[in-house]
Chain A
């Protein structure tokens, strides 16, 4: 029976749990964030209320400031694990801009090989690293917007309250873009999906 063939663990349990908790947390943060944005838009558009969370500003703020704990604590566990276990070093490094660009070009031509799911190609490494950076920027700018006086020192080197609002918005846009590309890639290479649930991939016999 195929199921009895040895399977290789490619996504450790911590990573899988953190991934799905993050899916929920980021979904809460972004959709409630859109509703908050609508209360005082930075640009000449608003997000359609149907895709926002919270119903009105107070509701959205409640979701945002409840979701932030889930998002931040889960993120801390993930970062601590990724750094301490060597998971980041093994999976995301080495990485070079030329390799990332090369693999993105190959992917756009539909020629990017992805046979060994246990190794990320350079396009994946670039995307996942960018996502991690964007999520960290989200937390830092979020702290400055939430507590511009108590975290004034932080605002000093990432731009004060008003600048933090814009960076918070653009980091959200980057995250939304990476998530959309990520989901499209999973649809194109569907066998990657169960591995983020079971963590395992059957070895070719």
Chain B
């Protein structure tokens, strides 16, 4: 095909091509200049990257299957010791008084009476041995037990057609997840680590354990939760980490 084209290629066509190429080169140059501007203009780069992060929230929501389960492991594969991780160091772990603790409920929930720990312990419990994957890349396998979150949401009459469930924590951490993940069968209110009551370093008295999300989406020391249609953000998300952060 190219040979045929070459035969038809008269000097004037060649000349035209050259001019077209020049024009294309010029617009390429203009594009490069534009890109150069963008690269030095931190704010517009940030805007594009944040827009892409929102787009990726949507892509992940689309990829997320409400039924697909995170792999579970035999107890022999549990990582010992399970690593501590937070936005502060281990000696700064908050001590929550379990006897006066109450989980506050707010937002699109029918029965907003606060829950004591004894009441939470009395609910049916499930366990899982799953992999915790940190946004930094490392992973560790642990065993958590507690209340299936979808059961709890049903019990308190949460409006599960809402978009978000948000959390407030005793260590000033905060976060939020999508409703589809909240209703996933492996999303649990973890009250125990291993076979013991959740120790302070792992989030006493409760953390949300979500094996279909990165570690930082698993808030610890939760003191209040709310159901809402307004995007609540989160501690790391507000600093630039991707909000959905599913796995």
Contact = CB atoms under 8 A, between A and B. Distances in A.
Contacts of A37: 137
A56 B27 CA distance: 34
B139 A150 contact: no
Interface of A: 3-4, 6-9, 36-37, 39-40, 57-59, 61-63, 65-66, 69, 146-150, 152, 160-162, 165, 198
Interface stretch (B48-56, B86-94, B149-157): B48-56
B142 interface: no
B224 interface: no
A170 B242 CA distance: 26
Contacts of A147: 60, 63, 246-247
A161 B236 contact: no
Contacts of A7: 14
B170 to A, nearest CB: 24
B53 A65 contact: yes
A37 B48 CA distance: 23
B48 A165 contact: no
Interface string B57-90: 0001001110011110000000000000000000
Given A36-B137, A37-B137, A61-B242, A4 B68 contact: no
A62 B52 contact: yes
Given A4-B11, A39-B136, A161-B131, A148 B247 contact: yes
Given A40-B137, A61-B241, A6 B9 contact: yes
B211 A149 contact: yes
B52 A150 contact: no
B53 A162 contact: no
A150 B63 contact: yes
B194 interface: no
Most B CB contacts (10 A, CB to CB) among A9, A39, A61 go to A61
Interface residues of B, number: 38
Q: Dominant SS at the A interface?
A: helix
A161 B21 contact: no
B133 interface: yes
A19 B10 CA distance: 29
A75 B60 CA distance: 21
Contact of B247 (A4, A69, A149): A149
B184 to A, nearest CB: 10
A201 B50 CA distance: 43
Given A62-B242, A152-B68, 19 more contacts: A57-B135, A59-B240, A61-B135, A61-B241, A62-B52, A65-B56, A66-B53, A146-B247, A149-B69, A149-B71, A149-B211, A149-B212, A150-B63, A150-B65, A152-B71, A161-B131, A161-B133, A161-B139, A198-B21
Nearest to A150: B63
Contacts of B52: 62, 65-66, 69
Nearest to B53: A62
A40 B134 contact: yes
Contacts of B49: 59, 62-63, 66
Given A58-B239, A58-B240, A65-B242, A40 B50 contact: no
A117 B28 CA distance: 25
Contact of A165 (B14, B63, B137): B137
Contacts of B133: 148, 161
5 contacts: A8-B6, A62-B53, A62-B240, A150-B247, A165-B137
A89 to B, nearest CB: 15
Contacts of B71: 149, 152, 160
B18 interface: yes
B58 to A, nearest CB: 12
Nearest to B56: A65
Contacts of A165: 137
Contacts of A65: 52-53, 56, 242
